[in-house]
């Protein structure tokens, strides 16, 4: 059978091109997703700032909790959203460890050079005390170390000279400093800039009195770093501090990269699971069409004595050969695809460039067997009926396919349709994106699988109606199109399935983003009652700017808004720190219980979602873990509806500011009768701060939402591209295999023009049916998604975007039909009909 399989492949190369393309793309997609997943698990985060210290001590940068399930207790941990700080007293304890030449305390805080026009130099820029320059190490190229509070040493890359006067935006108001030195690192520091201050000034700007960001241990000559590490761990016994060496230093230097690992694991797993299911569906459909086209050949093999088992084994081995030929180059192409995706994620801000892509042999080693298994399984499933039926019946079906479907296929299709309905019901009750997203895409795939199984029944009903229209519009071509589509319902279903999947998947991916984003913007617009907003380039709006605006005549309330993320138990929530005084004048989160007037330093307002998840109401206590791990008990004073627009927790800003890396307000809301000119005059001493009106704020929200949506478009857009390739692949296969049919039509008097017209009507039928099915699936799925996420069963789907999806699907379908048809019609009919199949 293996020899026969190879002979078939050599003799029918064209018949297996479609399977090769499908498996190649599947292998590439699975490899790319696996590479991203591996990057999330083991991606390298290089050390720059701490390259000169072999042993680094930091606070524990994770939040821990205990989970009990089925009688088993598990310890779980997640990265903190902000930097946790160490007790500075530990520095002396660490200095006494044998083998330590010096224990150097490190302070890290945002510090940016501000141009005269208020622009902040792009990129990460951090302030440090000069005493910690040895951790890189940085060395002076010119000048001296800073000694006074108004002195600074700048990075050589800043382009400043000794004696220059510069403005620095750090954790408070912009301040003037004199450059007294220019320093450069001995190694490569490419992803951040550094400004060095006198120790006392650095401690003031860091705002963590009695604490340090880290302690670097410089080893004595000849000391063993491993022994120093063990000594440090012994010295820190009883504390939560962590000792890090080697590549462990990178994640605590670049905390955003460490946090991105967790997000990438979730993203890679979701993409990988979705792409694998889509690949299985596409590959199965491709092999099913290929087996349909070989029905006569398989029936003849049965007629000459081949057993059903031998037939299945032959088809399975053919698939393994094709899978191997496609899987190996496809997996190698997948590594290139993973590199492109990683670059796009960095470009749109979803990943920091400090998290490097992991390239190893593991993703291809996983993708190739997965491709082989998918090919073998798809071929075996597709060959079940041709192998099972009697040879005479098989030959009859090859000449005239049966219009119906088997009982097993019918039952399986109905079960999948019922499963889709159940998932849609579940989806309507899911109110978080993390829970809703995988269910959303699984629902679409399940619906597409049901369409694939029940397709012949659906297409016969649809073509009965559409065929009548075609006959009225074009009697000859319409009649031929109607007869062909009704007689070959299985072939039509095979091409409708990937096209409907493409429409459904594209619509779902696009409109989940627009639905959630539109609801969030609508809530934010409706709930922001302040007529003006202060915004700033760089780290944020200084508190002194807000204080200055408060003194402007006519200003009634000023609310500083500081965005962060916190945990309540093991649940993570987006949150905002807000100024309690006058909050009701600037914000209206649509309170449904309690009142914002009760906001104080030890209180919290929660969204309806957070209240439901944590089971709290007005007057209850809620223990909140802030960004740096500090745990604070708060009293719930209000429950509000607009959680999408304002986050799930509203906290007092003062309680949040001391526990975030950047304590400056992300925005400042201003209410009252003061005009824009008066506000602009008040913030003139702060060149980075701008006064925005409501229209400008709404436009900024629109741009921000578009940036966030790009992440998912890049992530899931490849799956859309894969389904698009599957559409083209299937249509080309289906059209190219009809060469003898076209020749017969021409021999009995049909012109080439009429054949092409017939194909256009057939393709139009396919497009209309696929668009209707795909849109129906997307509408039901999106309605359930919207009901769960926004409380409204009406998703936000811009009509022009939907028309773009439909237009793209139609263009693919017509191009993939017209081009192979023209090639098939070039041959003389007599030569074509006599050619070997």
pLDDT in tens, 284-322: 777 777 776 666 777 777 777 777 777 777 777 778 888
Rounded CA-CA distance 689/545 in Å is: 8
Rounded CA-CA distance 461/472 in Å is: 18
What mean pLDDT, rounded, does the chain reach?
Answer: 84
Residue 472 has pLDDT above 90, yes or no: no
Q: SS3 for 621-683, per residue?
A: EEEEECCCCCEEEEEEEEEECCHHHHCCEEEEHHHHHCCCCCCCECEEEEEECCCHHHHHHHC
Contact 482, 470 (CB under 8 A): yes
Rounded CA-CA distance 736/722 in Å is: 21
Residue 576's SS3 state is: strand
- Structure confidence at residue 140 (pLDDT): 93
- Structure confidence at residue 355 (pLDDT): 87
- Structure confidence at residue 471 (pLDDT): 59
- Structure confidence at residue 757 (pLDDT): 77
Encode pLDDT of 418-446 as tens digits.
999 999 999 998 888 878 888 998 899 89
Q: Degrees (nearest 5) of the Cα angle 591, 594, 600? A: 100
pTM of the shown model = 0.81
- Structure confidence at residue 468 (pLDDT): 60
The pLDDT-based confidence of 495 (bands split at 50, 70, 90) is: confident
- Structure confidence at residue 287 (pLDDT): 73
- Structure confidence at residue 560 (pLDDT): 94
Query: CB-hemisphere CA count at 13 Å for 31?
Result: 31
Place of tokens 């007037």: 597
Residue 401 has pLDDT above 80, yes or no: no
- Structure confidence at residue 831 (pLDDT): 62
Encode pLDDT of 369-391 as tens digits.
988 888 888 777 777 767 666 66
745 CB-near residues (< 8 Å, 6+ apart): 480, 754, 755, 758
Rounded CA-CA distance 832/284 in Å is: 29
Encode pLDDT of 188-237 as tens digits.
888 889 999 999 999 999 989 899 999 999 999 989 999 999 999 999 99
N residues, the chain: 837
Packed helices 362-382 and 255-293: angle between N→C axes, nearest 10 degrees: 30
Q: Which two tokens stand for residue 469?
A: 């229209």
Q: Which two tokens stand for residue 483?
A: 């007869």
- Structure confidence at residue 561 (pLDDT): 94
The pLDDT-based confidence of 31 (bands split at 50, 70, 90) is: very high
Encode pLDDT of 56-83 as tens digits.
999 999 888 877 766 677 788 888 889 9
Q: What is the mean pLDDT of residues 554-577?
A: 92
Residue 475 has pLDDT above 70, yes or no: no
- Structure confidence at residue 590 (pLDDT): 92
- Structure confidence at residue 607 (pLDDT): 95
Rounded CA-CA distance 505/470 in Å is: 29
Higher pLDDT, 485 or 397: 485
Phi and psi at residue 658, in whole multiples of 5°? Answer: -75, -5
**Span of 280-284, 482-486, 526-530 with lowest mean pLDDT:** 482-486
Helix (H) or strand (E) holding 214: strand 214-219
Contact 784, 431 (CB under 8 A): no
Nearest Cα to 480, choosing from 744, 86, 810, 790? 744
Q: What is the mean pLDDT of residues 771-800?
A: 91
- Structure confidence at residue 464 (pLDDT): 62
DSSP E strands, 460-609: 532-536, 555-568, 571-578, 591-594, 603-607
Rounded CA-CA distance 754/772 in Å is: 27
Rounded CA-CA distance 442/504 in Å is: 12
- Structure confidence at residue 548 (pLDDT): 92
DSSP E strands, 107-197: 109-110, 112-114, 125-129, 138-143, 151-155, 165-169, 175-185, 193-197
**Span of 583-587, 617-621, 745-749 with lowest mean pLDDT:** 745-749
- Structure confidence at residue 96 (pLDDT): 92
The pLDDT-based confidence of 579 (bands split at 50, 70, 90) is: very high
The pLDDT-based confidence of 484 (bands split at 50, 70, 90) is: low
Distances (CA, A) of 129 to 134, 206, 482: 10, 10, 80
Residue 398 has pLDDT above 60, yes or no: no
Higher pLDDT, 164 or 11: 164
Rounded CA-CA distance 394/380 in Å is: 17
Contact 1, 310 (CB under 8 A): yes
Nearest Cα to 599, choosing from 566, 645, 563, 635? 635
pLDDT over 90, % of the chain: 35
Residue 648 has pLDDT above 90, yes or no: yes
Encode pLDDT of 624-633 as tens digits.
999 999 999 9
pLDDT over 70, % of the chain: 87
Nearest Cα to 58, choosing from 231, 243, 271? 243
655 CB-near residues (< 8 Å, 6+ apart): 577, 601, 602, 626, 632
Place of tokens 């699936």: 777
User: Dihedral sign, CA of 356, 357, 359, 365?
Assistant: positive
Higher pLDDT, 187 or 402: 187
**Span of 166-175, 493-502, 529-538, 770-779 with lowest mean pLDDT:** 493-502
Q: Which two tokens stand for residue 53?
A: 């210290």
Contact 484, 817 (CB under 8 A): no
Q: Which two tokens stand for residue 672?
A: 């009252």
- Structure confidence at residue 791 (pLDDT): 85
């Amino acid at each position: 059978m293996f020899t026969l399989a190879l002979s078939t492949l050599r003799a029918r190369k064209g018949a297996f091109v479609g399977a090769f393309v499908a498996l190649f793309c599947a292998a590439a997609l699975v490899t790319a997703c696996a590479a991203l997943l591996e990057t999330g698990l083991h991606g390298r985060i290089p050390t720059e700032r701490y390259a000169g210290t072999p042993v680094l001590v930091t606070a524990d940068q994770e939040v821990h909790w205990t989970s009990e399930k089925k009688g088993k207790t598990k310890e779980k941990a997640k990265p903190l959203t902000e930097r946790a700080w160490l007790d500075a007293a530990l520095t002396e304890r660490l200095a006494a460890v044998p083998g330590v030449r010096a224990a150097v305390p490190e302070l890290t805080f945002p510090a940016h050079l501000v141009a005269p026009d208020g622009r902040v130099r792009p990129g990460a820029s951090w302030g440090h005390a000069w005493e910690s320059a040895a951790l890189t190490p940085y060395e002076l190229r010119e000048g001296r170390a800073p000694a006074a509070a108004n002195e600074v040493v700048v990075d050589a890359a800043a382009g400043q000279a000794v004696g220059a006067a510069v403005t620095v935006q750090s954790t408070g108001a912009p301040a003037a400093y004199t450059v007294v030195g220019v320093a450069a690192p001995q190694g490569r520091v490419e992803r951040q800039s550094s400004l060095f201050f006198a120790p006392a000034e650095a401690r003031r700007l860091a705002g963590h009195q009695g604490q340090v960001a880290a302690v670097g241990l410089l080893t004595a000559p000849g000391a063993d770093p491993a022994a120093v590490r063990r000594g440090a761990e012994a010295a820190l016994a009883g504390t939560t501090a962590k000792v890090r060496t080697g590549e462990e230093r990178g994640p605590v230097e670049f905390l955003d990269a460490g946090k991105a690992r967790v997000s990438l694991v979730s993203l890679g797993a979701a993409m990988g699971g979705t792409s694998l299911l889509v690949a299985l569906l596409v590959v199965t459909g491709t092999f099913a069409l290929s087996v349909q086209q070989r029905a006569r050949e398989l029936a003849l093999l049965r007629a000459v004595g081949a057993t059903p088992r031998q037939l299945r084994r032959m088809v399975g081995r053919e698939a393994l050969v094709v899978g191997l030929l496609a899987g190996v180059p496809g997996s190698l192409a997948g590594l290139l695809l993973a590199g492109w995706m990683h670059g796009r994620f960095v470009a749109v801000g979803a990943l920091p460039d400090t998290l490097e892509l992991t390239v190893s042999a593991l993703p291809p080693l996983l993708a190739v067997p997965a491709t082989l298994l998918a090919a073998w399984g798809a071929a075996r499933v597709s060959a079940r009926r041709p192998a099972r039926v009697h040879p005479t019946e098989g030959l009859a079906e090859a000449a005239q396919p049966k219009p119906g479907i088997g009982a097993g296929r019918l039952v399986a299709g109905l079960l999948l349709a019922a499963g889709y309905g159940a998932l849609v019901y579940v989806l309507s009750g899911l109110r978080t994106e993390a829970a809703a997203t995988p269910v959303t895409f699984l629902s679409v795939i399940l619906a597409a699988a049901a369409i694939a199984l029940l397709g012949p029944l659906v297409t016969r009903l649809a073509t009965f109606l559409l065929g009548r229209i075609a006959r009225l519009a074009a009697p000859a071509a319409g009649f031929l199109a109607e007869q062909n589509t009704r007689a070959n319902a299985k072939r039509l279903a095979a091409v409708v399935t990937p096209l409907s999947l493409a429409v459904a998947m594209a619509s779902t991916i696009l409109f989940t983003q627009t639905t959630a984003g539109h609801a969030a913007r609508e809530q934010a617009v409706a709930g922001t009652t302040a007529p003006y907003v202060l915004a700033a380039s760089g780290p944020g709006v200084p508190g002194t700017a807000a204080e200055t605006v408060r003194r402007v005549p006519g200003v009634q309330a000023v609310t500083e808004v500081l965005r962060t993320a916190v945990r309540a138990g093991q649940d993570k929530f987006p949150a905002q720190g807000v100024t309690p005084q006058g909050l009701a004048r600037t914000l209206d989160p649509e309170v449904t219980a309690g009142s914002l007037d009760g906001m104080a330093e030890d209180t919290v307002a929660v969204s309806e979602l957070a209240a439901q998840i944590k089971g709290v109401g007005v007057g209850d206590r809620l223990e909140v873990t802030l960004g740096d791990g500090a745990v604070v008990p708060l009293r719930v004073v209000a429950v509000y509806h607009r959680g999408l627009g304002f986050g799930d927790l509203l906290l007092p800003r003062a309680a949040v500011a001391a526990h975030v890396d950047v304590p400056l307000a992300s925005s400042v809301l201003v209410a009252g009768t003061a005009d824009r000119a008066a506000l602009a005059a008040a913030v003139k001493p702060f060149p980075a701060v701008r006064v925005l009106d409501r229209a400008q704020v709404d436009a900024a929200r629109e741009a921000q939402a578009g940036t966030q949506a790009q992440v998912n478009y890049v992530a899931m857009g490849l799956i859309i591209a894969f389904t698009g390739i599957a559409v083209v692949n299937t249509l080309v296969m289906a059209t190219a295999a009809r060469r003898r049919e076209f020749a017969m039509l021409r021999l009995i008097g049909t012109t080439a023009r009429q054949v092409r017209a017939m194909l256009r009507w057939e393709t139009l039928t396919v497009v209309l049916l696929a668009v209707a099915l795909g849109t129906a699936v997307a509408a039901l799925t999106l309605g359930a998604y919207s009901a769960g996420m926004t409380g409204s069963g009406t998703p936000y789907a811009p009509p022009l975007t939907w028309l773009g999806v439909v237009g793209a699907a139609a263009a693919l379908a017509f191009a993939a039909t017209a081009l192979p048809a023209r090639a098939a019609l070039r041959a003389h009919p007599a030569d074509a009909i006599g050619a070997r199949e």
